[in-house]
Chains A and B, each alone.
Chain A
Amino acid sequence: AQSVTQLGSHVSVSEGALVLLRCNYSSSVPPYLFWYVQYPNQGLQLLLKYTTGATLVKGINGFEAEFKKSETSFHLTKPSAHMSDAAEYFCAVSDPQGAQKLVFGQGTRLTINP
């Protein structure tokens, strides 16, 4: 079985500061890993994904994440926060085989202070 733990249900940073959202996963097989963003009353938008290859993955809107197998982590970072980054962020894991269904973490709400 796969699982995801997002450390911190709520993160608050100042505009222009570093954003760091933490994600740890558990998987019995080499996983695919994802970060999604959700704005109020909207669906989920893919920020970035790791499947194979380079462990540092760059996504949209200046976000990036690094897959660290030894730490079973896939933390999301952005060097400089913008007000428009305020949203809910979800980390997810999937098994590369079969249905490739996503198992999501509980989410982290990111607030940006002016």
Chain B
Amino acid sequence: DTGVSQDPRHKITKRGQNVTFRCDPISEHNRLYWYRQTLGQGPEFLTYFQNEAQLEKSRLLSDRFSAERPKGSFSTLEIQRTEQGDSAMYLCASSPHQTGYTFGSGTRLTVV
């Protein structure tokens, strides 16, 4: 068990480009979450998977954002046509049935 792994740690992209982030949760955790954290703010919920099913999405998740969790293992978060307002830390977390999130170290996205 090496915890929740996120890749890449940092991503700089030009406005209008597409980016994809990956999250590898703790293997026995069936719940997976994505959060976004902008500078000086607390994290905000984006989406939630139970196994491979995406069960809840925030209104923050515009149609440029898509998340998947094929086979209930790793997850990807894709942002299409990036905007400067997408610059943030994207955090992934996993959890077993009961409470107790484990967060990854995050992917810091900078859109220039």
Which A positions have Cβ atoms within 8 angstroms of B? Answer: 4, 32, 36, 41-46, 49, 51, 90, 92, 94, 96, 98-107
Contact = CB atoms under 8 A, between A and B. Distances in A.
B48 A41 contact: no
Interface residues of B, number: 26
A106 B41 contact: yes
Classify the secondary structure of B's interface with A: strand
7 contacts: A42-B106, A43-B106, A44-B93, A49-B100, A90-B42, A102-B101, A104-B42
A86 to B, nearest CB: 17
B105 A42 contact: yes
Contacts of B67: none
Question: Of residues A43, A98, A104, which shows the largest number of chain B Cβ atoms within 10 Å of its Cβ?
Answer: A43
